[in-house]
Structure 1
Amino acid sequence: MSALAFRRDDLTADAVLALLQLHLDEMHRWSPACKVHAMPAERLREPDVTFYSGWDGSELAVVGALKDLGDKCGELKSMRAAPDFRGTGAGRAMLDFLLAEAQARGMNWIGLETGRPAEFAAAHRLYAANGFAECEPFGDYVSDEFSMCMARAL
């Protein structure tokens, strides 16, 4: 994989919408519907969220979003590598990009919600290796057997 080109995305490209649908389908397969906090494309277009895509040439490699929570806090949303790019470092590259973007915006805290089941183990490892630790639920999240919040200072 060459260096990815990241860009702010308007969520209109077929490849982006298909990857988001795959993400939503997997979240619903691995968690009860009431515990799926992944955002559909319509919600990712709202003003408090900035959505990005990462491209390897003409191939979509990864997507992710940064939600502004106010008070210099942000939340990572919809981080997902395309199937052909899983395990290639695309997720790490998007995470690094989003953390740099959050810092550039003056945020000093970043959180996320992820699942607890085994299917989320790779995400747990990625976030833990990048300074995230489990934290108390924030916003409307509730920590339970399906959902966990993680955070780190910036």
Structure 2
Amino acid sequence: MAVSIQTADLDRSDFRELIASHKALMLETSPPESSHALLIDGLKRPDMTVWEMRDGDKLVGCGALKGLSDGRSGEIKSMHTVAQFRGAGLGQTMLKHIMAEARERYYSRLMLETGSQPAFAPARRLYQRNGFVFRGPFEGYHADPHSVFMERALDA
């Protein structure tokens, strides 16, 4: 699989469908008040950069980086791999891309929120393998039994 990563076209129909599917999956595993996955309008914010992964013309995943209010930190958002391509290392590929971009922005750390349910165990393992550690809620989040918060310091 020859995957490319580029800035997402948020108005392209396959990308809009991917984000809608991602949000629906999050709502299947978390109560609505605990689901922080964004829809297209949330991804169009000026503090958000969104990428898509494609194998040729086929959309296989996405990820986003949100700049936080301190100007030195970023939040990983909307990491998603299409179900049939999971387990092929695409999440790792996107995570490395987001981490490289965060370093280019001179961020000192990356943070994220993910689910605490068993369905999110593969995501938590991916982040832990890449040096993320558990922490408390940050920037607008609240303690929630359905959420796990993680962070990783970034080297220069």
TM-score, normalised to structure 2's length?
Answer: 0.95
CA contact (8 A) 1:27 1:36 kept: yes
User: Take 2:77 and 2:116, find their aligned partners in 1: how far apart are those partners?
Assistant: 16
| Distance in 1 between residues matched to 2:100 and 2:12, nearest whole Å | 25
Partner of 2:93: 93
TM superposition score normalised by structure 1: 0.96
2:67 is equivalent to residue 68 of structure 1: yes
Q: CA RMSD in A?
A: 0.9
Report the Cα distance in structure 1 between the residues aligned to 2:52 and 2:144, rounded to whole angstroms. Answer: 31
Q: CA deviation at 1:27?
A: 0.7
1:53: which partner in 2? 52
In the alignment, structure 2 segments of 5+ residues that lack a partner are: none
| 1:46-79 alpha-carbon deviations (Å, 9 max, x no partner) | 1000111011111111101000003310000000
* SS at 1:50 equivalent: strand
Q: Distance in 1 between matches of 2:31 and 2:11?
A: 28
Q: How many residues align?
A: 153
Q: Give the letter for the 1:80 counterpart.
A: H
Question: Deviations 1:5-39 (Å, cap 9, x if unpaired)?
Answer: 11111311121111111110011111110001111
Unaligned runs of 5+ in 1: none
Pairing 1:16-27 to 2, within 5 Å after superposition: 16-27=15-26
Structure 2: distance between partners of 1:45 and 1:71: 19
Equivalents in 1 of 2:100, 2:57: separation in Å? 24
Aligned to 2:7: 8
- The one-letter amino acid of 1:35's match is S
* Runs of 4+ more than 6 Å apart: none
